[in-house]
Amino acid sequence: MDFYSFVEGPLLWIAFLVFIIGSLLRAALFFHVSRKMDKIIYQHFSWKYVLSTIWRWLLPLNKDVAKNPVFTISGYLFHICLIIVPIWYSGHITLWEESSLEWSWTPIPDSLADWMTLLLIAIAIFFLLRRIFSADIRLLSTFSDYFILVVTALPFLTGYFLTHGTLDSVGFLGDNMAVIHMLSGELMLILIPFTKLSHFILFFFSRASTAVEFGRRGYSV
């Protein structure tokens, strides 16, 4: 088995397993710790509080939009592109169709995937510059914050280069862009359970906890 086959096959499945099992373990650990440390939340648990706050935060219906509209709306667009492009891009769906699972679903137009990819990259650059040049945010930022931002944007950047042949004439990069793209995506999957990227699932638990705590006090979140 050559390196390309390893990256395309076994390493991809390893990345998916680490992502799925690690994410489930992070969620289980959060639930276990909260059961011990925040018992009052479970005593006053209410789906009304939980669903209300998650709905407002999944859609731009919360107070942060009015306080910081540019950053907040950029964040929403970033996450929408982050979810939709990898799952509904036609090239990725074709790979699932050709796999042993033979899964298939309707893709988004390739032109839309291109524009969403470019939008995500532009927003990632905006977030990076914001961390670098905003004194308050730079003070709170760690190496991990910069690293995670780069790791998140890299699969989209390399994917765009791959599908458009942007760097085909650049020696090593042109010859190996497919491998680089797969490795960048697999790296992101593997890192999700162990970094702040795990907020994709822990968000729902943390918002639910906050909603119950504030809800029982008579405040909306």
Q: How would DSSP label each residue in 200-220?
A: HHHHHHHHHHHHHHHHHTT--
Q: Is the pLDDT of residue 205 over 60?
A: yes
Which ranges constitute the DSSP H helices of the chain? Answer: 3-8, 10-37, 39-43, 47-58, 63-67, 69-88, 90-98, 110-133, 135-140, 143-164, 171-191, 199-216
Instruction: Give pLDDT, residue 164.
Output: 93
Kindly report, residue by residue over 10-46, the tens digit of the pLDDT. Answer: 999 999 999 999 999 998 888 788 777 766 666 666 6
Give the distance, in angstroms, between the CA of residue 151 and the centroid of all CA atoms in the same chain: 10
Contacts of 7 (CB under 8 A, 6+ apart): 179, 182, 183, 186
- The CA-based angle 105-110-111, given to 5 degrees, is 145
The predicted structure's pLDDT at residue 40 = 66
Digit-coded pLDDT (tens) for 114-152: 999 999 999 999 999 999 999 989 998 999 999 999 999
pTM: 0.86
- For residue 76, pLDDT over 70 is answered with yes
Which tokens sit at 199?
């907020």
